[in-house]
Structure formats: C-alpha cells, structure tokens
Amino acid sequence: MRRCEFFRVLGGIVAGFRPRRLVMVAIAVFALLPIEASDAGWLPDLFKTSSKQAKSPKRAKSARQSTRPAKSAKHRAPAKHHATRLAALGPVALPPSVLKPAAGKCDPATFRIVLDVGHTAESEGAISARNVAEFAFNLRLARLIAERLKADGFAETRLLLTEGKARPSLFKRVASANNLRADLLLSIHHDSVPNKMLEDWEFEGKKSHFSDRFSGYSVFVSRENPDFETSLRFAELTAKEMKAQGLHYAVQYSLPIMGSNQHPLLNKDTGVYRYDELIVLRKTAMPAVLLEAGSIINRDEELQMDSPEHRNIIAGGVASAVQEFCDPRWSLLGPL
Ligand SMILES: [Zn+2]
C-alpha cells in the first residue's frame, strides 16, 4: 500500500479550513489530479475482475441543528437492545472518537446518507462459494438498510446503483454521490479472499471455489478522504454496532499473509481498518466508509449472509450507527 505524500501535504494546507471550504478545495484538487489506480489488490479489486473491489465513502455533514428523529416502532426496538448492550459494556467500552462531541445534531429528515451498492450488474464483484455474485448480496443488504433508515426518519436516504465496468463505475459512483450532495456515504460489500487462497470444491455439480479460513465483517476508511476524522467517527460507530450484535471482524487484513492487501488496523477491538487507496473513499467529497458485511467465500458465513435474520442484524446495526452519528446522545441515553 502506498502513501501519497502529496495528500499529506494537502491535508496540512487545508487543515485550517472550515469543512465546507475544505470540501471545495478537495474537489478542485482531486479534479486536477491524474487518476491513480490502487495497487492494493483484490479487496477493492475495484481493480481486478475476478475478486472483490473497493468500496465507497460516506460523508457526515457538519452541524445541522434540528429536532430528533421521529421515533417509530422500528426505531424503538433496536434502541432497547442497544441500551442493554451499553449496560453490559459499560461506558469505558466506547472508543473516545465515538463519544467525541459532534458539531451538533443533524436533522434526520434532511440528512442524506447514500448507500452505495458495491459493484455493478455487469461487473458483479466476488463470486461466493455457491456461485452467487457479490452484487446480489450487496443490493439485497443495501435495500434493507435503506428501508430501516427511512423507517427511522432518515427520509433522504438514497440507494446508489451504478452501471458499467468495474473501474469506470468507481468514478461514476463518486460523481453521483457528490452530485447528490450526500452528507455521508456508506459503500456496501461482501468479502472474499485473494485468489491464491481459494480451494476447489463442487457445488450442485459445478466446480466451485471456497475458503473457510477467514470470516467476519470489516470496516474501512481512507486517510485521503477530505473529512477523514468524520469518516473515522462513523466507521467506529458502525464497527462498534457490528461487534455489539455479536459479530466478529475479519482479522486477516492485519496479517502479513495478505501481502499488499494488509492494512493498518485502526481499532483492534472493533475492526476498523485504514485503506487509503479506495477510490470511493478518497474521491468522495463527503465522509465515507466501506463495510464488508461478511465473507461469502466462507461456506458457513455465506449461508449466514443469505439468511433474512442475519441481514436484519446487520441492517439494524448500521441503522443504529447512523442514529448515533446523527445524534451522539442517542448512544448514551437511548431514544427519548
Ligand atoms: Zn466488493
């Protein structure tokens, strides 16, 4: 994984700018830069055809003063669960970045989160152990998350479906998210492994591939996003919610065995990784996070990811993370 000195310098230059101006500066600079492919590998094999790809970012909007979201029945259910978890974890279990005072509450009625469906119908991403395309998993989960968020009062939630070949689609989705003036972008993906780790088996009479070696979700942020700090805050919340749902994170990205796919583990408790090169995270003008919901190349986990119950758990966790992001008090007090 390469580090770009230019962006570090840029970060220093724009550090003193207010968020909106910083975003504008970032957009202008990115527009002038040559397109740079990540050499990071298959995860965001945004750059490869046979495995998986990079995910997108999200953006958190600064301080929009507003009222709390309307509390629906769907809202209350996860909240109760959340309060129980908090009691079990104790306040010290929350990372400092999660508790950091936000710029202010946002208004769920106007806060726009874009759910980026990873990959396209033409370039479907990873292929599961049972030969189902990742795109189908991504679309199903993203739709469910969108439903949950809208039910929780986030009426401006948008599902971002992109067409075309893998790499061009990355820039298309970035442009779409920027045009939508999204406050936050969450790119939804499902995980696989580098091709060298694949093993052969036969499923329904067809030669197939699997790897049961690794499993779990993972959350990625890019230091090159124009609002890395806010991106990290949402990533921390998302990963915390995944863990609170009893899920475990994918440890392999912290291991040397992954080679160029090894990434810095920013939170070893919840599984937040840094992946600077991901185009959807670094080119978007808003805070952005990429969620690998789970592995579909792992035979047991693929079955889990295919179950409505498991999808509900993940969607509920993401919805809770957005609630907490929008109003940090929610994570401490539960819905009022
Ligand atoms: Zn993917």
For residues 302-316, give the mean pLDDT. 98
**309 CA from centroid of ligand 1 (Å):** 22
Mean pLDDT in the chain? 78
pLDDT of residue 328: 72
- Superfamily (CATH) of domain 113-333: Zn-dependent exopeptidases (3.40.630.40)
pLDDT computed for residue 327 by the predictor = 87
Average pLDDT over residues 58-76: 33
Q: Could you tell me the distance, in angstroms and rounded to a whole number, from the CA of residue 298 to the centre of ligand 1? A: 15
Q: How many CB atoms are closer than 10 A to CB 5?
A: 8
Q: Which residues contact 168 (CB under 8 A, 6 or more apart)?
A: none
| Mean local confidence (pLDDT), 280-284 | 98
Ligand 1 mean position, distance from CA 72 (Å):
32
Distance 38 CA to ligand 1 centre (A): 14
The answer, yes or no, to whether residue 140 has pLDDT greater than 70, is: yes
The residue ranking higher by pLDDT, 335 or 188, is 188
- Provide the 3-class DSSP secondary structure of residue 89: helix
Contacts of 31 (CB under 8 A, 6+ apart): none
CA of 55 to the centre of ligand 1 (A): 7
Q: What is the DSSP letter of 291?
A: E
* pLDDT over 60 at 322, yes or no: yes
pLDDT attached to residue 154: 98
Backbone angles phi, psi at 253, to 5 degrees: -70, -10
> In the prediction, which pLDDT does 86 show?
32
How far, in Å, from the CA of 138 to the mean position of ligand 1?
A: 8
Expressed in angstroms and rounded, the spacing between residue 16 Cα and the centre of ligand 1 is 35
How far apart are the CA of 44 and the centre of ligand 1, in A?
A: 6
Structure tokens, 127: 């292929």
pLDDT at 31: 37
Kindly give the distance from the C-alpha atom of residue 91 to the centroid of ligand 1, in angstroms, as a whole number.
34
Intervals of CATH 3.40.630.40 along the chain: 113-333
Q: 177 alpha carbon to ligand 1 midpoint, in Å?
A: 18
Distance 165 CA to ligand 1 centre (A): 13
Query: 51 CA distance to ligand 1 centroid (A)?
Result: 8
Question: Would you state the pLDDT for residue 43?
Answer: 54
- Greater confidence (76 vs 325) lies with 325
Strands 218-221 and 206-210: unpaired
Q: What is the model's pTM?
A: 0.72
Q: Which residue has the higher pLDDT, 96 or 168?
A: 168
